[in-house]
Chain A
Amino acid sequence: MSITKYVKNFLRYKYLLFELVKKNIKLKYRRSYLGIMWTLIEPLLTMLVLTLVFGTFFGKDDPQYPVYILCGRLLYAFFSSASKSGLKSISNNSSMIKKVYVPKYIYVISAVLSNFVTFLISLIVLVGVGAVLKVQVTVYMFQAVIPLIILFIFTLGVSLILATLSVFFRDIEYIWSVATMLIMYASAIFYDISRVINTGNGWIFDINPVYMCIANFRSAILYGTTINMSYSITSGIVAIVTLLIGSCMFYKKQDKFILYI
């Protein structure tokens, strides 16, 4: 099939994609009293806890430290929750998949996209906290779009791989939850990377695209400097390669999904 045919097919299903994203977001907060407000409250509370723990007990006295945490925490939370729901998207929609033909990647995209929407909403917290702690508004802030796009592509690629694998192997879910924990500690969400670099383990940041996106996001938002070019290029390449691998795996195996779900 040619590319234009793919695009046409995708456009045919854009209303379905919209409905699925709406469903994911709606159902996540249904029957909770504060509803969608939780996307704001939750990162705010985690930020307070982390600031309390690492700021007070470990003596971090940078007044803008909460913004540092929040940047890392918001991006990581998107990556982790989106990849987890991407992983489950095929089995969660099995009753639909068994009944009506719809391109199955729609379910994975909708899982990642709905998490991206809640992530964008939660950025309001960042704006609020940044204003309170007097983060300088600079023109460099526009660059924040670049790490966000890269992170989105990377997350989608990872989700396609995980969704494919988890159809055949149910325990991928547990392996992945351990892996995301590892990625969290390797993404410098609440510590400064200079400490790790001093121990000679700085390479960990050079192979972690999630960290690279977080670092570039901080450069743009918190420090008001240009983003790290080599981080952009490396994470961008990793993201596109991951998406290509994910798409190929998914495309090759998608006709077999129905026999296993």
Chain B
Amino acid sequence: MNKDVAVHVDNVGMRFQLNHERVDNLKEYVIKFLRRDLKYNEFWALKEIDFDIKKGERLGVLGLNGSGKSTLLKVVSGVLKPTVGKVVTKGSIAPLLELGAGFNREYTGRENIFLYGAVLGYSKEFLEEKYDEIVDFSGLGAFIEVPIKNYSSGMRARLGFSIATVVEPDILILDEVLSVGDKKFRKKSENKVMSMFDKGVTVMFVSHSLEQVQRLCNKAIILDSGRLVAKGPVDEVASIYKNMTE
């Protein structure tokens, strides 16, 4: 792998099994197995995906719903293991996907900062040091001592964003997160992401908004039904995407 490449995606394919009726218990499985009734439909959510992101590059991922964008982000962040091919990443990754979805509902905001921080691989000392900064940025104030189940979805997303961005990652994976919270927080979170951009972080960004991708990214790819149909500088790709969607 080349030295200045941060993310290397090599011939990646991701296959899912689509069952018409999902068999998730032993009884049905045995019956269907004996009747030779176990049918699977294969479905490739991604196929033959090949690209590199160089250090400091900001890659926008464009595509319609169901084109495989989120699957691609999950493969790059390591949550999903590709069926074929491989992904190599260099440096620490901060995945900002579905913010706040990993919280424990019974836990308070404070407790979730430590639990979720630990999941993201932060150390205890680091979290204690950055605790005030996280609470400050989230703007939750006294609500930090309240169980998450009583939070609104916006509050949850704000806390998730604040925890995930307290580190300075090498690779930032963004999935429409710049649209969380109210207008004020949106501005704040965009500024935060921008300041990371200035420090030369490598970015992978998924959005439906072509305008946002053109504003934030310098490279782009288009996915269509799980295949890579275009890659290159953002303006070239954007015009292809415009033709596709119109």
Contact = CB atoms under 8 A, between A and B. Distances in A.
Q: Do these two chains really belong together in a complex? A: yes
B124 A258 contact: no
B65 interface: no
B201 to A, nearest CB: 18
A27 interface: yes
A170 B25 contact: yes
Interface residues of B, number: 30
Interface in A191-249: none
B225 interface: no
A3 interface: no
A15 B123 contact: yes
Interface in B94-125: 95, 97-98, 101-104, 106-107, 111, 114-115, 118-121, 123-124
B55 interface: no
A172 interface: yes
Contact of A101 (B24, B29, B77, B98): B77
Interface stretch (A55-63, A91-99, A145-153): A91-99
B145 to A, nearest CB: 14
B107 A99 contact: no
A260 interface: yes
A102 B119 contact: yes
In this complex, which of A13, A15, A97, A259 has the most chain B Cβ atoms within 10 angstroms of its Cβ? A15
Interface in B166-195: none
Interface string B66-83: 000000000001111100
B107 A23 contact: yes
A146 B173 CA distance: 48
A177 to B, nearest CB: 14
B33 to A, nearest CB: 12
Contacts of B120: 100
B76 to A, nearest CB: 11
A37 to B, nearest CB: 19
In this complex, which of B16, B80, B102, B120 has the most chain A Cβ atoms within 10 angstroms of its Cβ? B102
A258 B80 CA distance: 7
Contact of B104 (A16, A23, A98): A23
Contacts of B25: 169-171
A185 interface: no
B24 A27 contact: no
B27 interface: yes
Interface of B is mostly: loop
Given A27-B106, A98-B79, A171 B26 contact: yes
In this complex, which of A26, A97, A98 has the most chain B Cβ atoms within 10 angstroms of its Cβ? A98
A101 B77 CA distance: 7
A20 B118 CA distance: 9
Give the interface residue-count category, chain A: 20 to 34
B17 interface: yes
A162 to B, nearest CB: 13
B180 to A, nearest CB: 15
Interface string B187-214: 0000000000000000000000000000
A168 interface: yes
A16 B26 contact: no
A98 to B, nearest CB: 7
In this complex, which of A13, A100, A175 has the most chain B Cβ atoms within 10 angstroms of its Cβ? A100
A95 B124 contact: no
A57 B106 CA distance: 44
Contact of A19 (B78, B80, B102, B118): B118
Interface string B10-39: 000000110000001111010000000000
Given A15-B124, A169-B24, A175-B26, A99 B79 contact: yes
Given A12-B121, A27-B104, A100-B77, 17 more contacts: A16-B119, A19-B115, A20-B118, A23-B107, A23-B115, A30-B106, A96-B102, A99-B98, A99-B102, A100-B95, A100-B120, A101-B77, A101-B78, A102-B119, A102-B121, A169-B26, A258-B80
Interface of A: 12-13, 15-16, 18-20, 23, 26-27, 30, 95-102, 168-172, 175, 255, 258-260
25 contacts: A15-B118, A16-B118, A19-B114, A20-B115, A23-B111, A26-B111, A27-B106, A98-B79, A98-B101, A99-B97, A99-B102, A100-B79, A100-B120, A101-B77, A101-B79, A102-B119, A168-B24, A169-B25, A169-B29, A171-B25, A171-B27, A258-B79, A258-B80, A259-B17, A260-B24
